[in-house]
Every structure is written in structure tokens, then in C-alpha cells.
Structure 1
Amino acid sequence: MLVSLFDQERSFTRGVDPMVLVSPSIDEEMRRKRVEEENRENNSVPLVEEEKCRLQTEILGVKCSLLRMERDIAVMRIERRVEMERTLKFIVQTYLLSLFD
């Protein structure tokens, strides 16, 4: 390779800047590809972890909403039961008062 460069240098005329094109060797290309793949793998790991965290956050948010809805339903049932008990108590009292009049 050096011999061909020397031959090219001799063939150029003075006053003209020579431009030498050197093609990368196969080892360099393989190394570049390996480095690019490693960079992609290293960059993808934080992205995967970030996606996992986002998914877990979304799941927890949905679970919280579901628990709030269940709590609201339970509170409504308790309120209905209390109201029913008051109504039944009033009916029994009214009935008992009507018996003694």
C-alpha cells in the first residue's frame, strides 16, 4: 500500500495538492460495525428500562383509579344500607305507635 502511495506522489505535478483515497480494511469495517452495534445495545438498555418504568407507572395509575371506583361503590352501598335501616326503624316505630293509640 505504501509503495502505491509513493508511486502516486511521484506522478503528481508540483503545485497541485494530491488527494489520496484510502479504502478502509476489512478489519476496520468489522470493528466499526461492532462498535455501532455495541452503541445501539448500550443506548437501547436505558430506553427499555424507561419504557418499563412508564408501563409500571401507567399500570399503577389504572389500579389506583380502580381502587377509587371500588371505594366509591362501597361507600354508596353503606350509605344505602344506613338509609334503609333508618327507614325500617321509622316504619317499626310508626307501627308500634299505631298499636298503642
Structure 2
Amino acid sequence: MPRDETASALRAAQRSPAFAEDYPMTTRPCASSSVPSPNTDRPDDPPIEADFWRIVQMALGVDSDRARVREWYRTENIRELDGKTAQELVQMGEADRVIGFLRSIRRGYRD
């Protein structure tokens, strides 16, 4: 199909109701990046956010209750990690220590 016919066919398909149902992300406007996310669980800093989600995913392997995991992340002082919370360690750039701690729990080295 020549390029003009292909473009014309795509425009026609995008106007059809079936297309909107099959491919909703391609026909609706994207949210503005300046609109704050309603999710308050995610820190704003991208590297910290990535570490946060890595740790939460590992912690969910230990305890499947999301609310308890979030609470643990923010408030539980971890004796083996100098009495700091996972959140404090992530903010200090020491997410790998928290990951190692969670791995030791998952391997059965600690309760």
C-alpha cells in the first residue's frame, strides 16, 4: 500500500469507535507531566523511586501485606543496618544494604 493510502487508512481507523476500544492509549491525550501524581507512596526523586520499588517488591516476598510493607519501609529501625529505616538508607544511597538484608531473610538466615 503506498504511503498516502496507509496514512489515510490509519486516520480512518482512528476515527472508528472500534479502534478507540482496541487501542485506547493511542487515541486519548496523555496526562501532563506537570500534574502531580495522586499516588503518595512514591518518592519524587527517580533514583530513590526505583530503589523504593525494588525494595518493596523484595519485601512483598517476605510479607504479602502491602500496608505492612510500606509501614516497615518508613518506620522500622533495622538493628542489623545501624538502626536505620529502609527509607533512611535509600535516601542515603544505601539501598543495596536493604536489598542484602531482605535477601538474607528470604534465604532463611534471619526471621
TM-score range, shorter chain: under 0.3
Structure number with larger C-alpha Rg: 1
Higher relative contact order (CA 8 A, sep 6+): 2
- Normalised to the residue count of structure 1, the TM-score between the two structures is 0.19
Greater helix share, 1 or 2?
A: 1
